[in-house]
A = this chain, B = another copy of it.
Amino acid sequence: MKTKLDILKQYGLSVTDSRKKILELFLNADGALAHADIEKNAAKNFDRVTVYRTLQTFVEKGIVHQIPTTDNSILYALCKQNCQQGHHHDDHVHFICSNCDKTICLDDVTIPQVKLPINFTKQQAAMVVTGVCEDCK
């Protein structure tokens, strides 16, 4: 089984307390995390700047990906199965529960293809579904 340490090394990152702790938060989270969540939940309080920079690094290395929202925040999520192999795919749908406010990666629901108007070229696609999750049903 891969440890946090292994994961960080695998991505060519120095192993530091903050990275281990933040990675752990993601591994234990059942949904996506916002910057604020991380700042609150980290037992040892890291500097805000460190959290920003760690998240930025994780995004660049492909350990986590960003999820667009309509409430002026960015959510970050790690995709269990992919991340452990070092290939990052975030072509799945994200689900935001309107009851518990959790954001869940629907890893098995792939974003469908859409036919764009002529002369539009696609690079990336994101899809966010709002509704009620299985726990709140």
Contact = CB atoms under 8 A, between A and B. Distances in A.
A67 B106 CA distance: 20
User: In the complex, which of the residues A93, A111, A117, A122 has the most CB atoms of chain B within 10 Å of its own CB atom?
Assistant: A117
B126 A117 contact: no
Contact of A95 (B74, B98, B116, B133): B116
B124 A131 contact: yes
Contact of A123 (B69, B74, B98, B137): B98
A85 interface: no
A36 to B, nearest CB: 12
A95 B72 contact: no
Contact of A126 (B70, B98, B132): B70
B112 A123 contact: no
A67 B117 CA distance: 19
